[in-house]
């Protein structure tokens, strides 16, 4: 803020961008406080997930996302299974 005020006082677009970033940061901090420091709120309580995994209703695995096509490609590698296993 000081840099913009001192060196670029008339650069309106930069000041608007800075204000936008500051507002987004404040909103993220508020959301983080509301979610007890977690970046994203949990969809289901952990005890329900654990019971669902035990009963077989849910599966647990590792999410793998294609770094070049993150919006389009992802898969979950299930724990306890390897690509060589046949079923």
Which tens digits make up the pLDDT trace of 22-65?
999 888 888 777 777 666 666 888 899 899 989 988 888 999 99
Whether this prediction's pTM lies above 0.75 is answered by no
Exposure on the CB side of residue 54, measured as CA atoms within 13 A: 6
d(CA 31, CA 37) in angstroms, rounded, equals 8
3-class secondary structure, 61: strand
- The pLDDT value recorded for residue 33 is 77
80 has pLDDT over 90:
no
Residues contacting residue 81 through CB under 8 Å, at least 6 positions apart: none
């Amino acid at each position: 803020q000081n840099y913009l005020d001192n060196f670029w006082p008339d650069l309106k677009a930069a000041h608007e961008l800075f204000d936008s970033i500051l507002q987004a940061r404040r909103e993220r901090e508020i959301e983080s406080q509301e979610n007890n420091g977690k970046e994203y709120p949990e969809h289901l309580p952990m005890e329900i997930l654990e019971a669902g995994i035990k009963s077989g209703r849910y599966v647990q695995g590792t999410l793998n996302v294609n770094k070049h096509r993150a919006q389009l490609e992802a898969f979950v590698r299930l724990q306890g299974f390897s690509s060589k296993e046949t079923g």
